[in-house]
Structure 1
Amino acid sequence: MTDIEKFRVPGHSDLAYIPDFVSEAESDYIVKKIAESPLPKWKNVPTGRRLQYWGGTLTKTNTLIPEALPAWVTQFPDLIDRIKDLGVYSDSKIGQPNQVLINEYRPGEGIDPHSDGPAYYPTTCSLSLLWPTLLFLHPPPPPTVALNSIMDLTPPDLPPIVLLLEPRSLLVLQGEKYTDWKHEIKHVFEDDFGAVEVVNREGLKGKKVQELVGEKGVGRKVKRERRVSLTFRTVEKVGKGLVFGR
């Protein structure tokens, strides 16, 4: 079993960052299999960005109507077993991810601040492929302080924390970071790596990515290229009499 504790982000016990979670050959193979997916598998969000769902879809009552996961996440590479070995789903009823969401991000495409909602066990694992990106995590707004019946004091929003996700890395998001915080990828054509201070700097492994970040204020602006992510989630409410396959 992988000791996930050594990959925890300093100061954030509900975040873990694992570089090189898959090899270059495995990454190439996954990207190839995604490209070979039947065209109806691709869905478009209103902004035009494309995604795929594997493992089944949710009903209006947040029940999973399961389908078998593809062999390229269960056999080669054996991503489901690798994630299971992290122990982050050991307290869930299912014990492992049973749904995979694939997001494609072309230059200029991102995702607005959001949370995944209560349908899922409060842990998600996201595998990044092809290109690095900056992920912004927004804390919940501080409560309004009542001064009197006429005026309330609303404190300013707390700043987000930022993670740099390298290609082939896995980000584990748990607890309050999952339930109460929102995550975002900016809709931009280039990332300004010098404008932010990434909290997982110590966990970065790729020399090229470390050069992009540099020190705060002196990192580089880099034009984006295509990125693909695989987000592994667990739906604990599964339709009776149905089997989610592997």
Structure 2
Amino acid sequence: MPAIDFQAQAVDKNGEVFYVPNFVTEDEENYLIRKTFPPFVETYPDIINRLKSTGVFHASAHGAPNHIILNEYLPGQGIMPHQDGPAYHPVVATISLGSHTVFHYYRYTTGTQGQVYVPEPDVGEARIVDPTPVLSVLLEPRSVIITSRSMYTSHLHGIREQKADHITAGTDETHPPKFTDLNVDVANWRLLAGKQATEAVINGGILERSIKV
């Protein structure tokens, strides 16, 4: 695929989270969903080298992705806010296949209201998570989101357990589209490429989730 201008793909003000639509094609998506894990990563399509070519892993010990986690989410399923831990280089690429979903990023708070996050043993103490996301990104099928630096090391990420995502229409940067239930901005609304997602942020609407890998 063509070289990616990451400055143009940043969805946060510090340039630590990047969203790229259509990172894989529809044919590749169908192939990846059909095939068992993991032979596809080094054959067709060569996802590892495609991610390596973005340059975001150049500072890591291997200079490329070297660890893969495969998750499946049914409609209504999600994953609680969490951190991936210090064992990994602080950059992770998440590819969405099959369905859209919404990635929320959270910060810790010194207050008493919020969810308690208990990390893995020997990683740290339990802390309170602010329930209001600091960044919310609509992930279209076939897209990739790359999380780096402090958004990886100091923040949590998660997927809310719901079967559909309600979006309130927006018009411009002053009045951007919002995820209705949380009243937070769709941070990447100008980067969306698919017809369904684009119409939802322009006109408002409901995006029904299906099986996501």
Q: Does the TM-score normalized on the shorter chain lie above 0.5?
A: yes
* 1:200 corresponds to: 188
Larger Rg: 1
* 1:95 corresponds to: 63
* 1:221 corresponds to: 206
Q: Between 2-11 and 101-110, report the one with greater CA deviation.
A: 2-11
C-alpha displacement at 1:16, in angstroms? 0.6
Identify the match of residue 161 of structure 2 among 187, 193, 208: 187
Q: Greater RCO between the two (CA within 8 Å, min separation 6)?
A: 1
- Contact 2:91/2:146 (CA < 8 Å) preserved in 1? yes
Q: 2: CA distance between counterparts of 1:112 and 1:27?
A: 26
Percent identity at matched positions? Answer: 37
* 2:98 corresponds to: 130
- Contact 1:142/1:158 (CA < 8 Å) preserved in 2? no
C-alpha displacement at 1:24, in angstroms? 0.4
Question: What is the letter of the counterpart of residue 33 of structure 2?
Answer: V
C-alpha displacement at 1:200, in angstroms? 0.7
Q: Between 164-173 and 129-138, report the one with greater CA deviation.
A: 129-138
Q: 1: CA distance between counterparts of 2:82 and 2:210?
A: 23
* 1:51 corresponds to: none
* 2:17 corresponds to: 15
C-alpha displacement at 1:137, in angstroms? 0.7
* 2:26 corresponds to: 24
* 2:197 corresponds to: 209
C-alpha displacement at 1:12, in angstroms? 3.8
C-alpha displacement at 1:135, in angstroms? 1.1
Gaps of 5+ in 1: 38-69, 145-155, 229-246
C-alpha displacement at 1:157, in angstroms? 4.1
Output the aligned Cα RMSD: 2.1
- Contact 1:141/1:158 (CA < 8 Å) preserved in 2? no
Identify the match of residue 159 of structure 1 among 119, 122, 132: 132
Q: Between 189-198 and 11-20, report the one with greater CA deviation.
A: 189-198
C-alpha displacement at 1:3, in angstroms? 3.4
* 1:175 corresponds to: 149
Tell me, yes or no, if structure 1 residue 115 matches structure 2 residue 83: yes
Question: What is the letter of the counterpart of residue 22 of structure 2?
Answer: D
- Contact 1:136/1:185 (CA < 8 Å) preserved in 2? yes
| Count of matched residue positions in the alignment of Structure 1 and Structure 2 | 180
C-alpha displacement at 1:142, in angstroms? 5.3
Q: Between 71-80 and 188-197, report the one with greater CA deviation.
A: 188-197
Q: 1: CA distance between counterparts of 2:9 and 2:144?
A: 10
- Contact 2:106/2:130 (CA < 8 Å) preserved in 1? no
Gaps of 5+ in 2: 113-128, 169-179
User: Displaced runs of 4+ in structure 1, greater than 4 A?
Assistant: none
Q: 2: CA distance between counterparts of 1:222 and 1:6?
A: 25
Q: Between 184-193 and 127-136, report the one with greater CA deviation.
A: 184-193
